[in-house]
Each structure stands twice: as structure tokens, then as C-alpha cells.
């Protein structure tokens, strides 16, 4: 391919990347090195790395990181396992009605996250159906506590993110050759063994992909934590994104929030870069 043609094809994407990702990133780096609030936004004061020191010395930042990691540890495996199981079930359904079920299962993914969370939250309000069912079952009225809010955030995150795993795994299963399964069956493999040794092996690259995307998505979780906590500190359920928002918008420290954002980018790069390198290497090997 000629260099000119290459640039003509990639130009629009490069422009969008620069405008929407690189430029804001550079701005965030710059803001993080200055003292900037809403009140001196036109006259920032260079402060070097003091914002980064401030963030790393902030116990609330570490508490938010702790809860974010907890979410990742619980939600990512849960949504992947559920997504895989649902994909297997969907794979068994007759093709003519599959679309209906797929559409139904994708609903949580389609609904705007804030709207979905608010609907879910309303079910737990004093007049909500799930709160009523909870009261009938336990004999006690439901109300928000640190434990219940954290549990609901986890539950809602799994509910809203599982369809992504489902779609990817289901698509992967469609590419699995039936002959392979038949051959395994002839060799005496039962259903569990077929799934373990054939389906899972076939989906392995997708499992890594879904895992990484899910980790990144959960890492930057904001909507449902915001709706459930209303920034009330008694729930101790700040995610990193939520805490960064709080610092920027409530405390009005745009500089510290930017430093936090950069640290978060570095954090996710630690996970992402090895994957990108291994993907690149495997593609080179395939050539």
C-alpha cells in the first residue's frame, strides 16, 4: 500500500483519536501538573507533581481503589460465567425463536446505564416491589446500608454487563464446527467434557478479550455507584471514577482530579499493554 493511500484511509481515525483521546489526555496531564480550580482556570499555577503526591497520600483514593478492585474481582468472573452459560443455552434454542431471546437478554445492555440503575433502585425504594418481597421473605424492612448498597451495585453491574459476554461468547460458539463436537461425542466425551475441552478451548481468545474489556469497564464504573450512593460517605462505596468526579465537581479541584485520572490511565495500561503486545506478536506470527 502506498503511504499516501495509507494516510487517506487512516486519516479520519487518527484525527478522531487525536481530538477525542490524545488531546484530552494531554490536557489532563497538564492540569495535573498545575494548581487549577474553577476559580483560577485562566491563571493556573505550576505545581509539579504535588497533585500526584496529594492523590497518593489521600486515604479516600485508596479506599475507592479498594472498592473498585473488589468490584472487578467479583463482577468480572460472574458476568463472564453467566454470559457463557447463557450463550450455551441460547446455542441450544431453535434458530427461529433465538432472535427473540437474544433481544430479551440484550435488554440490560441496551438500556442507558443511569436509567437502568434508577429503575433497579426504585425496586428497592420503600414503595418498591423488591423491597416488599424482601420484607415478606425476611420479615424486616429493606433499607440501604453499606452492605446492601455495595451488594446492589455489584448485582446491578453484573446484570448490566453480562449481555456483553453473552453476545461475544454466543458469536464464538456459532463459529464452532459441529463436526468437532460430533467427533468428541463419538469418542465418548459427555456434554461437560465437550464444553470444557472443545467449546472453552475454542473460545479462549474471546475469553481473554471479554475479560480485558470487562476489567476496563468495571474499572471505570460510575453510573450505578453514583445513583446508589448519592455520594453519601456512609456507604463507603466510592469507585475511582466516582471519587475523581467528587474531587473535580464538589471540591472543585480540577488539578487533583486530573492527576487521579492520569494515575487511573497508568493503572489500566499495566493490564492492557501486555495484552496488546501479545496480540501484536500473535498476529505477526500468523503472518
For residue 46, what is the enclosing H or E element? Answer: strand 45-46
Name the segment binding another protein (CB under 8 A); options: 9-17, 19-27, 118-126, 160-168: 118-126
Using CB under 8 A, pick the residue from 1, 57, 94, 266 that binds another protein.
Answer: 94
Neighbour count for residue 58 (Cβ, 10 Å): 15
The binder of another protein chosen from 18, 56, 81, 234 (CB under 8 A): 234
Among 252, 276, 277, 278, interactor with another protein by CB under 8 A = 252
Min. distance of Cβ 12 from another protein in angstroms?
A: 28
- Residues 36-55 within binding reach of another protein (CB under 8 A): 37-39, 41-42
Of 23 and 101, CB closest to another protein: 101
- Minimum Å distance from CB 144 to another protein? 4
In the complex, the smallest distance separating the C-beta of residue 141 from another protein, rounded to whole angstroms, is: 7
Using CB under 8 A as the binding rule, the residues of this chain from 119 to 148 that contact another protein are 119, 122-123, 125-130, 141, 143-145
Nearer to another protein, 37 or 279 (CB): 37
Degrees (nearest 5) of the Cα angle 230, 236, 242?
Answer: 50
Minimum distance from residue 253 beta carbon to another protein (Å):
7
**123 versus 271: smaller Cβ distance to another protein:** 123
Name the one range near another protein by CB under 8 A: 5-13, 22-30, 88-96, 258-266. 88-96
What is the smallest separation between the CB atom of 268 and another protein, expressed in angstroms? 26
Nearer to another protein among residue 128 and residue 267 (C-beta) = 128
How many residues sit close enough to another protein to count as binding (CB under 8 A)?
36
231 binds another protein (CB under 8 A): yes
Residue 102 CA neighbour count, 13 Å, CB half: 20
DSSP code string of 218-260: HHT--HHHHHHHTT-GGG----HHHHHHIIIIIS-BHHHHHHH
Nearest to 147 by CA among 237, 74, 69, 222: 237
Dihedral of the CA atoms 101, 105, 107, 113 (nearest 10)? 180
Dihedral class, residue 238 (left if φ above 0, else alpha if ψ from -120 to 50, else beta): beta
How far apart, in whole angstroms, are the C-alpha atoms of residue 31 and residue 260? 11
DSSP state of 43: S
Query: Which residues lie closer than 8 Å to 129 by C-beta, 6 or more apart?
Result: 123
Amino acid at each position: 500500500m502506498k503511504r499516501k493511500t495509507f494516510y487517506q484511509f487512516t486519516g479520519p481515525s487518527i484525527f478522531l483519536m487525536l481530538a477525542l483521546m490524545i488531546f484530552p489526555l494531554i490536557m489532563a496531564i497538564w492540569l495535573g501538573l498545575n494548581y487549577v480550580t474553577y476559580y483560577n482556570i485562566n491563571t493556573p499555577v505550576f505545581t509539579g507533581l504535588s497533585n500526584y503526591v496529594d492523590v497518593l497520600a489521600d486515604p479516600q483514593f485508596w479506599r475507592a481503589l479498594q472498592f473498585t478492585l473488589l468490584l472487578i474481582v467479583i463482577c468480572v468472573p460472574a458476568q463472564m460465567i453467566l454470559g457463557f452459560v447463557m450463550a450455551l443455552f441460547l446455542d441450544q434454542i431453535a434458530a427461529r425463536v433465538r432472535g427473540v431471546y437474544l433481544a430479551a437478554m440484550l435488554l440490560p445492555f441496551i438500556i442507558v446505564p443511569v436509567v437502568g440503575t434508577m429503575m433497579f433502585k426504585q425496586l428497592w425504594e420503600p414503595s418498591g416491589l423488591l423491597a416488599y418481597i424482601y420484607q415478606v421473605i425476611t420479615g424486616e424492612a429493606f433499607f440501604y446500608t453499606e452492605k446492601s448498597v455495595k451488594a446492589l451495585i455489584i448485582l446491578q453491574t453484573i446484570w448490566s454487563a453480562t449481555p456483553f459476554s453473552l453476545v461475544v461468547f454466543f458469536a464464538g460458539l456459532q463459529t464452532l464446527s459441529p463436526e468437532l463436537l460430533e467427533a468428541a461425542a463419538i469418542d465418548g466425551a459427555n456434554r461437560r467434557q465437550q464444553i470444557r475441552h472443545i467449546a472453552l478451548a475454542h473460545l479462549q481468545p474471546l475469553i481473554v478479550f471479554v475479560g480485558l474489556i470487562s476489567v476496563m469497564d468495571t474499572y471505570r464504573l460510575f453510573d450505578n455507584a453514583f445513583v446508589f450512593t448519592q455520594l453519601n460517605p456512609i456507604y463507603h462505596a466510592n469507585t475511582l471514577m466516582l471519587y475523581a468526579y467528587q474531587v473535580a465537581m464538589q471540591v472543585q479541584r480540577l488539578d487533583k482530579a486530573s492527576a487521579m485520572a492520569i494515575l487511573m490511565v497508568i493503572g489500566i495500561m499495566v493490564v492492557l499493554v501486555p495484552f496488546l503486545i501479545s496480540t501484536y506478536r500473535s498476529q505477526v506470527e500468523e503472518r
